Chains A and B, each alone.
Chain A
Amino acid sequence: MNRREVRRFKSRVMTAAVMACVVLAVLPLILILGTLIMRGASSLSLAFFTKMPVPAGESGGGVLNAIVGTLLMVGTASLIGVPLGIASGIYAAEYPGSRLTWVVRFVADVLNGTPSIVIGVFAWTWIVATQKHFSGFAGAAALAILMVPMVMRTTEEMIKLVPHSLREAALALGYPRWRTTLQVVLMTGLPGIVTGTLLAVARVAGETAPLLFTALGSQYLVTRLREPMSALPLTVFSYATGPFEEWHRYAWAAALVLILLVFVLNIVARVVTTRASVSHG
């Protein structure tokens, strides 16, 4: 082999190795999706979304209570967590040198790495144990605590990406600093912040551990946050660990619904980002 052939050979070997890595990385995702669709799709029907669970042994029924519970808890968690996360992200980006920023950023990073079950135990200790009952609100609070550091760090990074010259241009027009931050800097970084927020929402929507000892789960259609509440991950957990074949199929279907929900949120996040970057030229 001459040198050129050796180079080509090396190139082919390396390309093949890299492609193998890509396949290995994507394979689990494909397998998960494939299994979910194979096992869950057959149980999906309109009734699955609109009906309540039925007692073991009966067929039919759905997971309406879990879908409502997930939407309510994730919605409440977002109402609490998103403003807090965005506000602290703005603070960290606006005062990067302050001691408080250092502390907040450190806490956020630790919190980001904290296993979600620990957050669940925390919420149990401070909300469930003190109120002496499980509740959807305790679940929402646990999810909110998970969201804050994610939203905060994204907001901070997105605001830092906004060119300093835009900030100066606004100040040079006589904008007060708060207006510069909100109307120019935050608005310019908004597509990225929305994307990061939606990804955080998608992430907590699939959380099971923090809900186990906070929202607990419920067989009924609960819309009051003071009461124990069901959620899709909880349904998957209880059905999958149950003894009945019918339940196992429901668990697969509920898992598929959950994945679809996360999938949709991810796609919306992508669309928001690309739309924004296209309209900006």
Chain B
Amino acid sequence: MAEAVRDLIGLRLPGAAASARPPRMATDKLSAMYGKFTAVKGVTLAFAPNQVHALIGPSGCGKSTFLRTLNRMHEITEGGWVTGRVLLDGEEIYGPRVSAMALRRRVGMVFQRPTVFPTMSIFGNVAAGLKVDRRTHRGTLEERVEQALRQAALWDEVKDRLHKSATALSGGQQQRLCIARALAPAPDVVLLDEPTSALDPIATQRIEELAYQLKRDYTIIIVTHNMQQAARISDTTSFFYMGTLVESGTTRQIFTNPADPQTEAYITGRFG
């Protein structure tokens, strides 16, 4: 078991020794910079499909920046650039022929705070990501919106007011709406950037349950500063510190038997 997991964590490049489950996403010596400042230093990491992967570490450790390199959102930040490689299903996402827009439809993202579009209805928010994709046909729009809202466990709460403004929803509902919006275009990977940091405990619990359920259909990568959260919902955990990846492994191993003293210090609450 442990070895199988280590195989999953270890980087798999295309053409490398065949593994039963090649990683959905992988990074290879990935560094992310803001101008001259290096926020992420040479991270090599792989994410197996249909699992929840947690990225933990103290504030400013580079975990959010790392997450944003996975859907090329880092490069829209002023001065943001990367070196190294990021692979989605073995395909280089920073390749010259790859469209960042098309990539972001395959790698969805949910932010710290709910970011519903205030001018759009609940339906319009979920449909927003579908409308930019010309492959979507109108006839399927309603079905896909409903499906996304069901997946985000929001359907029953909003089905009677789909065409009302989305800003009337509570914070937790808004965040689940953002998850539905990210799920609607049927991405392969969903990135969650501290999705519960602005929510109360009950709303947080619902999002956590959701992340756990969603792994059947998606690969989830979640940044969290909440170690209990990582322990509760993730299959693998990676600990970042000062821009480097200190340790990565199964969540159980990281939390019960960390190999690195820094990891141990962090998870036992001695700093952070």
SS class of chain A's interface: helix, strand, loop or mixed? helix
Kindly state whether residue B102 has any CB partner on chain A within 8 Å. yes
Q: Tell me which residues across on chain A come within 8 A of B128, comparing CB atoms.
A: 170, 173, 175
CB pair A174–B185 under 8 Å, yes or no, is yes
Closest to A189 in B: B119
CB pair B132–A173 under 8 Å, yes or no, is yes
CB pair A170–B117 under 8 Å, yes or no, is yes
Kindly state whether residue A171 has any CB partner on chain B within 8 Å. yes
Kindly state whether residue A169 has any CB partner on chain B within 8 Å. yes
CB pair B104–A174 under 8 Å, yes or no, is yes
Q: Indicate the size class of the contact surface on chain A.
A: 20 to 34
Say which residue of A168, A279, A280, A281 sits within 8 Å of B111 (CB atoms).
A168
CB pair A173–B181 under 8 Å, yes or no, is yes
Q: Tell me which residues across on chain B come within 8 A of A187, comparing CB atoms.
A: 117, 119
Q: Tell me which residues across on chain A come within 8 A of B109, comparing CB atoms.
A: 172
Tell me the chain A residues, 230-281 only, with Cβ under 8 Å from chain B. 279-281
Tell me the chain B residues, 85-102 only, with Cβ under 8 Å from chain A. 101-102
Decide yes or no: A172 and B104 within 8 Å by CB, A165-B111, A179-B132 being known contacts. Answer: yes
Q: Tell me which residues across on chain A come within 8 A of B129, comparing CB atoms.
A: 173-174
Kindly state whether residue B71 has any CB partner on chain A within 8 Å. yes
Q: Which of A165, A169, A170, A190 has the most CB of B within 10 A?
A: A169
Q: Tell me which residues across on chain A come within 8 A of B105, comparing CB atoms.
A: 173-174
Tell me the chain A residues, 179-224 only, with Cβ under 8 Å from chain B. 179, 184, 187-188, 190
Minimum CB–CB distance for A163 against chain B, Å = 8
Kindly state whether residue B246 has any CB partner on chain A within 8 Å. no
Closest to A162 in B: B118
Kindly state whether residue A113 has any CB partner on chain B within 8 Å. no
CB pair B102–A174 under 8 Å, yes or no, is yes
CB pair B76–A190 under 8 Å, yes or no, is no
CB pair B73–A175 under 8 Å, yes or no, is no
Q: Tell me which residues across on chain A come within 8 A of B108, comparing CB atoms.
A: 172-173
Kindly state whether residue A19 has any CB partner on chain B within 8 Å. no
Tell me the chain B residues, 48-65 only, with Cβ under 8 Å from chain A. none
Decide yes or no: A280 and B118 within 8 Å by CB, A169-B178, A172-B109, A173-B181 being known contacts. Answer: yes
- Residues of chain A touching chain B, judged by Cβ–Cβ distance below 8 Å, are 163, 165-166, 168-176, 179, 184, 187-188, 190, 279-281
24 contacts between A and B (CB under 8 A): A163-B115, A166-B118, A168-B76, A168-B115, A169-B178, A170-B117, A171-B104, A172-B104, A172-B109, A173-B128, A173-B129, A173-B185, A174-B103, A174-B129, A174-B132, A175-B101, A179-B132, A184-B119, A190-B119, A280-B118, A280-B165, A280-B167, A281-B167, A281-B168
Known A-B contacts: A163-B115, A174-B105. Give 19 more (CB < 8 A): A166-B117, A168-B76, A169-B115, A170-B128, A171-B76, A172-B111, A173-B104, A173-B128, A173-B132, A174-B103, A174-B185, A175-B128, A176-B132, A184-B117, A184-B119, A188-B118, A188-B119, A190-B119, A280-B167
- Residues of chain B touching chain A, judged by Cβ–Cβ distance below 8 Å, are 71, 73, 76, 101-105, 108-109, 111, 113, 115, 117-119, 128-129, 132-133, 165, 167-168, 178, 181-182, 185
